Each structure stands twice: as C-alpha cells, then as structure tokens.
Structure 1
C-alpha cells in the first residue's frame, strides 16, 4: 500500500481536485471595510497564502446577516455586498492552483454588547463562565426567524459561487449559532428545533439542504464541527459522531473537526485549566486525532483535522493513519505564509510556535492574546509587511482594547 504525502492531490466526489493535503483553517481576519466588504488587505493576505503553496484556504467567518456581527470588522455577504470586491478576493485566493472556500456564519448570541443590545439564539440563555458580562442575554428565535436565517445562509452561498469562491464551509463549531442549536446546554427549546438530538440537528441539516439547493450538486459544501463542547450538559462526542453520520448521509463534501466554545476554548490548545493536553496528543501534534480515528470507522466523507500540527513528519503520519484526508493549519500560516511550500519541499520541516503572553495571565485571558496576536500578524501581511515572530503581546492587547473601546462609542453602521 502506497504511503500518502502532503504533496498528494485529492479529488472530491464532485471532481474538484485539491492540489495537496494542506488546508488553511479559518481564522478571523477582521479586515472588512465600513460596508463590511473585503478590503485590499484581504486580497493581499490571500494572495500571499496562495503563493505560499496551500491547497485549500477557508476564509475567516463571513456573516450571512449584517444585523448580526460577531466582531466589528466582519465581512458580510448578502444582497447589499459589492461582489466585484469579493471577486478580487477570490481571484487572489485561486492563484498558484489553490482553492478558496468561504466560511459562512451567524454568531447567534456570541455578539459583544457594544455591537448588539439583543442578540438571538435557540433559547434565551446567556453565556456563562463570566462571559455574560460582555455578551447580552439573547432572545429566543421564533419559527419565522429560524427559516429567515436558513434562507440567508442559502443566499450567501449562492452569492459566493457567483463571486468565484470554489466552495463554502458552514461554521458549525466554536459556540456560534449552528453550534448553539446542536448543544443541549444552549438549546432548550420544546418545539421541533430542540429536545432530542434529531431535533437539535434539524437546523444544521436545513441550512445544508438550503445551500445545496442554491448552489447545485457540483459545488462543494463543507462544515466545521466540534468534536465536543467540553462543557457539562453540552454537545458530546457521541452526539457529534451522530451529526457527522447524518451530514455524511446527506452528501456533504468535506468535514473539518475542531472543538470547544468561547466558554471552553479547547480550540486554543487545551480543554480546560485542570485537564492538560495528553502526552499522546503532544507527540502526535493533533488535538482531535483520537476522535478522528473513531469517525473514520463511521463515514467515508473526506475529513480534515485541525489543531496542533507543527511538523511535516507528524502531518504525514496522521495522513497515513487514514483517519484524516487533510491537515488543517492556521496559526503557522499567520506567522509564515510560505509554510506549506516549506513542508512539501522538506519532509522533516517543522515550526515551533511560542505562546504569546503579556506576562500577566489575567490580562492574557481578558485580551484573548492566544487569538489576537495572530490576528495582528495577519494585519501585518495584509499591509504588505512581513509577520513578526517577536511582536509584543502587550502592545497587541493594548491596541485591541483601544480599538474595541472606540467601537463601543460608535453607533453600529450595519
């Protein structure tokens, strides 16, 4: 049996060929303009990533509803969008034979207070673990509103195809609206959209089906899902596997696995403070490979595992377990856009990432240093500069808080 290498192409069921097994997972770039269209910076950033050798890039979360923004500078794709600007973005992302898919998202209740007085969610349940201080308690969606949001996903997908994206990904992870519907912790509805898992997964299935109807059978649709929420009473690993099976049965083209929410951010490296990363996980460099091996026994749908990979040997080893078809990378791309080229050229290549810190753990948490430091690296690339591995974490936090503070005093334009 021949071994699989990072450089090997992969053909999806619709015939679309992805030139290698390296998959840039979504990172929030925060590079939308005042009308929430893509900026020239986004074009420059994805041009760099395409030239850097990535097989498939997934954009940062693009919102389907401009009245529901997760962050101030989100890009929105709807009937008011300037598709010419989106086409410039997709043209850049398709250079060098790369694919670019748009990640479509609705934040649900994960909208900061300064952006929205009354967010919506499956149920009127606030975020916990102190996050309720920065996020307002949501209002429960009614039946009509649920169908309106499903339609918005479909419209955004149709427009993304027109703009030149080569696929779409539904954001069903990290505690956003799709994830909220799936979680019994956040979805306590008593109608057909809540209760049993069959009811809780109805929303994501209807979103997928509406998108499929809008874009046709030949346009790839993927999804990013949590392996679990790692929260008491939340979305479990067993439930996640059932959702994967159901989506696979319905013909979804690609499934990316991550994990966690704002309340329990395992996507940032560890499930919680008291449960350290396993030694086996450290060795394999992958946070969710144990889960992937179980899922592979259930479905043949192409899979992506994201989180933790740093070296070519570990990536190739993961591919040769057959538990995943693609290796998801993100932060390494923010530090070095040429990372894929280096991995493919040198089978022993690797990158070590230091954990950015202000030196004050409380400030690191408040400032979300583990996310915004990489966001600032992307801004540097977008501005035509090189990423800076020595960028000051304290300076990054100061700039981020200052920016958020200014937005808090502005009336939302969207």
Structure 2
C-alpha cells in the first residue's frame, strides 16, 4: 500500500525532521494573561492539536514588546519573566512527536485604536478612510527604535529556545511590521530602511540575522511571507520572490506563503477568483513560481478543503507542507483524518455578522475563531454553529471593559 503524500516526513536545512506534511498555521488565540504570560488554557489547546496529528504547529503571534500589542490577550516575550509558563506550554504542545514553533511578531500600525499608547510604523501612513475609526495613524519609527525592535526579536527567540519550543517563525505577512517595512505603500522612508526594494528588505534581513545569532544554525527559523499585499502600490510578487531568494541564501529553513493585509484580506479568500477557490489553494500559482527559483521547503496556507486537494499539492512537488488554520479551530483532530486519507467533517465558510463595515474588514475571521480556540482551551470543545454577531458583541464589550479595568472573566 502506498503511503499518503501527507504522511511523509520532511527534513529541513538545519537538520530538523517534521513527522508529516500537515502544518497548523498561526491563529491569534488571545489567551495571554495581563503582562503577557500564556494562560494554562494555551497548553490544553496545543496539546489537543498535537494529539490531533499535526506535524508542525505554529503558535499565534507572540509579541516582542509589551507596548506594542496586536490584539487584546497577546502573549509577550521580552525576557525570561514567563519562562516557567512557556516551558509548560512547550512541553504540552510537543507531545506525540509534534514540532511547535513560536511565531514572533510586532504589529507596527496594525493594532486597534486605543489598545496601545501609540502605534508605530516605518512611515506615518494612515489606513484607508473607512478603517480610520478603528486604526489610528501611526508615528514614524526613529532609526534607534528600529534597531531596538530588531534586538527584541533576537532576545525573544533566545527565550523561546530556552523554553523548549522546537523553532521560531517570523511573521512577515498580513500587514504587520515586517510586512509594512517590505511594502512601498506603507514604507516611504528615504534612509537606509526604505526607498528601494533592497532597502525595504533590510529590516527583515536584520530581524532574521538577530534571531539566527541568538539560536544558532541548528535551530529551525522560518518566516510567513506575503506573496503580495493585493493593494495598489503595495508589496508585489516580484519583490516577494526577491525576498525569498535573499532569505534562502541566508539560510532560512521554511517559508510559509500567504497574502493580504487587514485592508485587503486575501488570506481569508476575499481577493480570490472563483477558479482559484475551486482549485482550493489560494496562492498556488505563486508557489509554483517560487519552486522554480529556490529549493527551500515551502508551506502553502489558504483555501485547502479536501484530502485530495492537499495530497495533490504535495505530490506536485511545488510545496512541501499544507497549512491549515480555521479548520483546526472547529475540528482540532482533522489532521488525523487527513493522514488516513479522509476528508475533514467541516467545510469552512466566511464568517459574517450581517454588518457590512465589520464584514468588509474580515475582523470576524479572527474574533470568531478566537472564541473557538478559547472553548477548546477550556475543554468545552468547539461550537461551529456559534453566532458571529454574539461573538462580536462579546469581543467589543470585553475590549472596552478591559481598557477601563472593570472586566472580569466569568466562568461559562
């Protein structure tokens, strides 16, 4: 009997071996304590996924600066202050031979208005008009601040390794700070950090080098990178290919391909043609272009629905792992089914509240699934029929009252 393409091991350039080709892509959990320590429910959630058969599990974005949160409830790693809680999380997440990598991130300007004292970015470029009520215009970073952030990525990676996780992933996609530096729309600097594609790549290169210097050559370091921003004047496929080639030459171990930002959320299928949706993988055309240029292991995330769609992607040789996210929030053991050659039980649909301003931003594609992750972490299990409107109201009131310091979590 032939072995399923999804059930083959994968060796990375650094020497690490992933047991199968199923990759749990990052989702924001919002399960950090005040101060940035991981809640115990994160350990339960990640153990559930590990027991569910995933080969490589990437955490939700972990911030490198307490002053720069992307969402309420982010885990933050600035030093070893939360080391014991991080060790417990790593131990639980890596049962069953599962790899667990921590995704390190800085939101830049892509943080809700009022969450941080201020938001920063390569340049003081506002969001589009219909989003300015939710996101403030950022302050332009000074060069010394840029170097401080670079060093924070390295320090966080050092702590991640000490805690026992098996790798790190740089979040270089979806409009967060690394992505902002790469984009000519958001980075309009004229100094060493902007003005040309080469200068716009300086930040991601320095972040990678800072991390690599902190963890050594044998520790896996990957990146999540946009194929494009899908915005006029933004990061293009040509620049993405050049960035991938540069990072490959520097020794990156794994590249996850995605696309889009909060302003153009292609990562949830909002900018995808019907023919692409039918083929399942949103960014496969770009992955094919990448494979012609580099041999670095590639993960493709976005749009996969069936066993055959995933198996065909691996069998083609164009990608090495298939990335799943939202499916695993409603069906945490889906990987075990896929490894047996079965389709998942659930089909992912766009989450809608019925209010256009909210739905256009695809905010519920984070908030509704975060609610499912919280349920799994509390051992209540996912609830696929959960009302999107109810979840949105809960999120708004939680955020408002947390800011006022009067919100208290209630047991369900």
TM over 0.5: yes
Distance between the aligned counterparts of 1:129 and 1:49, measured in 2?
39
Inter-CA distance 149–27: structure 2 relative to 1 (3 Å threshold) = same
Residue equivalent to 2:59: 59
Matched, 1:391 2:386: yes
Task: Give the secondary structure class of the aligned counterpart of 1:82.
Answer: helix
Task: Give the secondary structure class of the aligned counterpart of 2:223.
Answer: strand
Distance between the aligned counterparts of 2:31 and 2:228, measured in 1?
29
Distance between the aligned counterparts of 1:23 and 1:310, measured in 2?
14
Residue equivalent to 1:318: 313
Residue equivalent to 1:98: 98
Shift of 1:310: 1.2
Shift of 1:302: 0.3
TM-score of the pair, normalised by structure 1: 0.94
Matched, 1:210 2:210: yes
TM-score of the pair, normalised by structure 2: 0.95
Distance between the aligned counterparts of 1:23 and 1:225, measured in 2?
15
Residue equivalent to 1:341: 336
Distance between the aligned counterparts of 1:309 and 1:403, measured in 2?
32
Distance between the aligned counterparts of 1:36 and 1:302, measured in 2?
32
Greater displacement, 164-173 / 137-146: 137-146
Residue equivalent to 2:25: 25
Matched, 1:283 2:278: yes
**Residue segments in structure 1 that go unaligned for 5+ positions in a row:** 272-276
Asked whether the equivalents of residues 343 and 350 of structure 1 are also in contact (C-alpha less than 8 Å), the reply is no
Please tell me the root mean square deviation across aligned C-alpha atoms, in Å: 1.6
Residue equivalent to 1:304: 299
Matched, 1:154 2:149: no
Matched, 1:369 2:333: no
Distance between the aligned counterparts of 1:287 and 1:347, measured in 2?
21
Residue equivalent to 1:238: 238
Residue equivalent to 2:50: 50
Residue equivalent to 2:258: 258
Shift of 1:173: 0.5
Asked whether the equivalents of residues 372 and 396 of structure 1 are also in contact (C-alpha less than 8 Å), the reply is yes
Residue equivalent to 2:409: none
Task: Give the secondary structure class of the aligned counterpart of 1:380.
Answer: helix
Shift of 1:410: 4.2
Which of residues 354, 359, 364 in structure 1 aligns to 2:354? Answer: 359
Task: Give the secondary structure class of the aligned counterpart of 2:224.
Answer: strand
Shift of 1:78: 1.5
Distance between the aligned counterparts of 1:334 and 1:348, measured in 2?
16
Shift of 1:361: 3.4
Asked whether the equivalents of residues 331 and 346 of structure 2 are also in contact (C-alpha less than 8 Å), the reply is no
Greater displacement, 3-12 / 96-105: 3-12
Asked whether the equivalents of residues 3 and 320 of structure 1 are also in contact (C-alpha less than 8 Å), the reply is no
Residue equivalent to 2:76: 76
Which of residues 401, 406, 410 in structure 1 aligns to 2:401? Answer: 406
Asked whether the equivalents of residues 312 and 350 of structure 1 are also in contact (C-alpha less than 8 Å), the reply is no
Distance between the aligned counterparts of 1:14 and 1:363, measured in 2?
42
Asked whether the equivalents of residues 68 and 107 of structure 1 are also in contact (C-alpha less than 8 Å), the reply is yes
Distance between the aligned counterparts of 1:80 and 1:161, measured in 2?
11
Task: Give the secondary structure class of the aligned counterpart of 1:248.
Answer: helix
Distance between the aligned counterparts of 1:329 and 1:228, measured in 2?
19
Asked whether the equivalents of residues 117 and 136 of structure 1 are also in contact (C-alpha less than 8 Å), the reply is no
Asked whether the equivalents of residues 367 and 400 of structure 1 are also in contact (C-alpha less than 8 Å), the reply is no
Task: Give the secondary structure class of the aligned counterpart of 2:245.
Answer: helix
The count of corresponding residues between Structure 1 and Structure 2 is 405
Asked whether the equivalents of residues 114 and 407 of structure 1 are also in contact (C-alpha less than 8 Å), the reply is no
Residue equivalent to 2:410: none
Residue equivalent to 2:165: 165
Distance between the aligned counterparts of 1:373 and 1:347, measured in 2?
26
Asked whether the equivalents of residues 311 and 350 of structure 1 are also in contact (C-alpha less than 8 Å), the reply is no
Shift of 1:347: 4.2
